[in-house]
Amino acid sequence: MHSSGASAGFDHVAGPGGTTDGGNANAAGGIEVGGGGARAGAGNAGALSGGSANAGAPSVAGSGGAAALCTSGALRCDTVREHCDQNGAWVKESFVCATDITGATEQAIVCAVKSDGRMTCFGRSFDPLIAPLVAHAPDRKWAKLVLSDDPSDKTDHDLCGIDLSGSGVCWGIDQVAHGVGASLTQVAPGSQGLCVVGAEGTLSCPENDGIIGPITADSGPFQDLVMRNGFLFGLGRSGSVSVPFSQFSLPSGAYDQISASDRELCAVRADHELFCAPHAPPSALAAQRFLRVAVEYGGSMCAIRDDHAVVCDPLDGGQSFVPVAGEFTRLTATMLGMCAIRSDGSIACFGSIQLEPPTDW
């Protein structure tokens, strides 16, 4: 079912600033995130291994150091969209790129951030939760946002954000915003609590109502956390993956990105292989290589392949989504659907409940 989206946005000015680069905020030690964060595929907004931040960006020729011409008609988006003109030169447009996106896996709600720090949230046109989530957002410029898996629980951390100075803030459907730390690289809200990662990769959980996961004193340092209900999953800076129960254990190796529900964990390893547990990915995906993955509450799973196309194949009990065509850099799961950021900086959604982003996103 396709429905018109309810949306709201901000264009606020923050205090201490920073810069965004392909979705990564350079502030207070930098924002370095994994699942739901800014480690997009190499060659697009954010590189896996320090490569170019833009697909199709001109390379430097071996002889003479002359920059190669781009291909006429090509698009890329870092801070603003650019197109390649008939002379092979990049030309800036007025469209500001979306750089970060997050979804609630048990509600049909998605929030996103643009490179200038503006935010928006959208969902089904009749959803009563979206307006208060936006209304309670502080007057800041954002590097990233993270939705709780089920905002209808009305905690004080239904939606959390990290601004361009690295300060973390959370707020709820019925609660005003409150700070959760400075110099943060990740926030992980869930219905059973709230955890954060500091600039040195240290983990702390300022709200713990029964969290199960890697919260021991010797865990970490972390680059990413994902909380689903009370289950906490961690991605270490070394690429190690920490899980709440052994049934979620993955094959050995260093991983670049994780996504989870409280039933499934999926991750992209540094060699671009895709693994999930407790249910393995469908065999059709075994020979392919991937940049990012997202898994939805019921087991629906989609991933960005290394050619930047999205492919979908459900895990046990999940639905089969038909992805939209195009090249993508970011992907998030929401209830019965997925939303993704295109290489041109715009947002597209698909699934059983297909959400409609605002027209300027």
How far apart are the C-alpha atoms of 161 and 158, rounded to whole Å?
10
Gyration radius of the chain's alpha carbons:
19
pLDDT confidence of residue 217: 56
Q: What amino acid occupies position 55?
A: A
Strand order in the sheet with 222-228: 222-228, 231-236, 241-242
pLDDT confidence of residue 220: 81
pLDDT digits (tens, 9 = 90+) for 315-348: 988 899 999 999 999 999 999 999 999 999 999 9
Q: Is the pLDDT of residue 6 over 90?
A: no
**Which residue in 258, 262, 257 sits closest to 244, CA to CA?**
262
Model confidence at 7, pLDDT cuts 50, 70, 90, reads very low
Model confidence at 10, pLDDT cuts 50, 70, 90, reads very low
Q: Where are the alpha helices (DSSP H) in the chain?
A: 130-135
Q: Is the pLDDT of residue 64 over 90?
A: no
Q: Work out the average pLDDT over 120-135.
A: 93
Q: Is the pLDDT of residue 246 over 50?
A: yes
pLDDT digits (tens, 9 = 90+) for 248-264: 999 999 999 999 998 99
The DSSP secondary-structure symbol of 51 reads -
Residue for token digits 């469209």? 95
More confident residue, 191 or 143: 143
Predicted structure pTM score: 0.80
Q: Is the pLDDT of residue 48 over 90?
A: no
Length of the chain: 361
CATH number of 98-351: 2.130.10.30
Q: Is the pLDDT of residue 46 over 60?
A: no
Handedness of CA 151, 341, 279, 314 (dihedral sign): positive
DSSP string, 280-305: PPPGGGTT--EEEEEE-TTS-EEEEE
**Is residue 181 a contact partner of residue 170, using CB atoms and an 8 Å limit?**
no
For the chain, give the mean pLDDT.
84
